[in-house]
Amino acid sequence: MTSSALIVFDLDGTLVDTAPDLVAALNFVLEREGLPLVPVASARSMIGAGARKLIERGLELRDRSMSVRDIDRLTDDFIAYYRDHIADKSRPFEGLHASLDTLEARGFSFAVCTNKLEGLSRLLLDRLDMTSRFAAICGADTFGVSKPDPTILRQTIARAGGDPARAIMVGDSGPDVGVARRAGIPVVGVTFGYTETPIADLNPDIVIGHMADLPQAVASLTTRFTSS
């Protein structure tokens, strides 16, 4: 396998179980507004479209409508709180490191393509001592577009020094499957992430239920790679 073989990962709900800290930040702003807290289990499917969307969904869940200016304020406060507590309880999913070791030994490199802000993504991976694993870490503000716009994935692959013809996307939700389809690369869906629609219903090329299954899934998809 050549060095251009690249696996691009979503972050929240794919690489790292960030729900506890994201929901804690959501509850921080909701509680300050006098609204009931949201249980982590109930909010997991609300994660994945960025901080602002998570706040909007939290407000909808509590039947509260706010102005754009107020949501801007809550978003700023959410991000400030989350930055200070970004890795209190967030942890890599079980089996991740062993699978990355296996894939790296096979010649793959790795990148992150997320709708999280790049700075927060880097901070999280720094705190978890994972940053050095990735040739590129790109967020919604890196190129000014978010998934499923294929530009963010194509530019992430380019920044990582990869080749779109030898790349695979791994994610947990509709934007991940959508961005891969629009960019023309195969996609692995994980069942343990954050999505309202079951990942299998989104028709990724392969569905896995544990990170330990990733190397075999990747092996089956590399048969689609063209010669470089």
DSSP characters over 130-141: -GGG-SEEE-TT
Q: Work out whether strand 91-92 and strand 16-17 pair parallel, antiparallel, or are unpaired.
A: antiparallel
CA distance linking residue 16 with residue 197, whole number of Å: 19
E strands, 191-227, are 206-208
- Known catalytic membership, residue 129: no
* Residue 168 phi, psi (nearest 5): -135, 140
With 0-12 CB in 10 A as exposed, 13-18 as middle and 19+ as buried, what is 89? middle
CA atoms within 13 A on the CB side of 42: 11
Are the beta carbons of 195 and 12 closer than 8 angstroms?
no
Please tell me which residue in 10, 21, 176, 205 is annotated as part of the active site.
10
Active site residues: 10
